Amino acid sequence: MELLILIFLPLVGAIATALFAKQNTAKVVALAFSLFSLAVAMGILCKFTPDASTQFVVNFPWVQQLGINFHAGIDGISMITVLLTNVLMPLIILASFKHEYKNASAFYALVLFMQTGLLLVFTALDAFLFYIGWEAALIPIYFICATWGGKDRIKVNMKFFVYTIAGSLFMLLGIIYLYLQNPANNFELAEFYKLNLDATHQGWIFWAFFIAFAIKMPIFPFHTWQPDTYTTAPTPGTMLLSGIMLKMGIYGVIRWLLPIVPQGVQYWTSVVMILAVIGVVYAAIIAFMQKDAKRLVAYSSISHVGLIAAGIFTLSHQGLQGSMIQMLSHGINVIGLFFVLDIINSRLATNKVDELGGLAKVAPQLAITFLIILLGTVALPSTNGFIGEFLLLMSVYNYNAWLGAVAGLTIIFGAVYMFRSYQKIMLGETNALTASFKDINGTEKVVLYTICALIIVIGVYPKPLMQISDASVQHLLEQINHKLTGIN
């Protein structure tokens, strides 16, 4: 029952916001429902046992003729993504409070509707239900970006839509094929795990799923939709895309791809590792060259996600655990960075790095919070970014020392472009544009202080989060090795 409430409470909130909330109250209603969802998620966390079992399971027939069930549950892996979604959603909504959106009730209803789609993805144990959630999360973010985005939003979002729909169709073909091979004639994830496909067919299924997941993350060379979309989207849309939605692809690789087609994964791992590491370095170099701070953060995100993907495909405990903690940390850090840039843009109408300067003198609180978020992003020890990045780099190095060395350049490049941008934006003398800049206040303080607290708390004491997923990650690796070695 708790899981059903968790999944559908945002949908109830979306309906209430769309039908009953007025223009000036829509954001308050949406925030209230996101906080209710967070409370439910925390209640589930308190009852959660950090072992390898799937808990809070709901399972009842949906389309019996086709073997489709509404089957969902939470284990340690999905618990991390459920927490990520429900912790970030109130912050994203609160971060939008200083903006007035035309037809605000529709805007916030779409945000809450997307939350339901995300939670379906992160809890589904039926492939058809997973696909429904996958598409349900795409529809609202498309309309958010296309309706409330910036210049060229229609052209940019059409590219985003075509990319993601193409990937989704490949995945749908893969799901249908697995269903046809399933003697149980259903879409159950557990039954898909039991399938013994030959290496050739596993290779085809691998690419059917991987393309969909790689586009969503995105990793090189499936990333070209991302910088423009992140830049033109309204800030809450950018936060939803970067903070939560890209984790759908990472989660999909871990939950679906690795255990269903381990031979396909094993065969193509070297290719994926090379693509991921290329993305780490390529995106970092491009980020260094950016004049627009929002595009800089967009490319920074590609670089970080490339490292997460590389860690996952090492098929090691360190790599998978590192990816779990880094999913959460990256989500927190990236919405913090985009919010800081949104604050600057809302006051000065620019994110051009060369036009700014001296903000630390007139906005010391913004400067301090920005610095803390930046330190988490570059993985300073005792911040949330450190433990995940350390585990990921160690796993890649153990897989291949040369790839590990190249991937490790992300530490150097990330520090260079992040500190360089901070220097140009925050330090030095003020100019005619920045001299009258006002420091953070009200809801801005709440959002930034909360993000900074999470960065420090997770960085200083990550053990509770790592314990949540540890047993499930170990169990997943045992399942993969079991299939690869052919032990029954």
* Band of pLDDT at residue 450, cut at 50, 70 and 90: very high
What is the rounded CA–CA span in Å between residue 305 and residue 406? 15
pLDDT at 487: 47
Range 365-400 burial, b when 16+ CB lie within 10 A, else e: ebbebbebbbbbbbbbeebbbbbbbbbbbbbbbebb
Above 90 in pLDDT, residue 289? no
pLDDT at 486: 66
Nearest partner of 77 among 465, 479, 480, 484, judged by Cα:
465
Average pLDDT, rounded, for the chain? 90
Instruction: Give the mean model confidence (pLDDT) for residues 33-43.
Output: 96
CA–CA distances in Å: residue 71 to residues 50, 156, 182 = 21, 36, 17
Helices (H) and strands (E) in the chain, counts: 22, 2
pLDDT at 159: 85
For residue 265 the two structure tokens come to 């994964």
What secondary structure does DSSP assign to 130-179, as a single string? HHHHHHHHHHHHHHHHHHH--TTHHHHHHHHHHHHHHHHHHHHHHHHHHH
What is the percentage of the chain residues whose pLDDT exceeds 70? 99
Specify which residues 124 forms β-bridges with: 72
Tell me the three state secondary structure of residue 279: helix
Which range of residues forms the domain containing residue 58? 2-485
What is the rounded CA–CA span in Å between residue 71 and residue 73? 7
Instruction: Give the mean model confidence (pLDDT) for residues 154-179.
Output: 89
CA–CA distances in Å: residue 400 to residues 210, 312, 343, 390, 408 = 22, 14, 42, 15, 12
What is the rounded CA–CA span in Å between residue 9 and residue 13? 6
pLDDT tens column, 171-201: 999 999 999 998 888 899 989 988 888 888 9
What is the rounded CA–CA span in Å between residue 251 and residue 78? 8
**Structural domain total, the chain:** 1
Nearest partner of 332 among 381, 292, 383, 282, judged by Cα:
383
Q: Are 127 and 192 in contact (CB under 8 A)?
A: yes
Above 80 in pLDDT, residue 263? yes
Scanning the structure block, which residue is given the tokens 């190095």?
Answer: 397
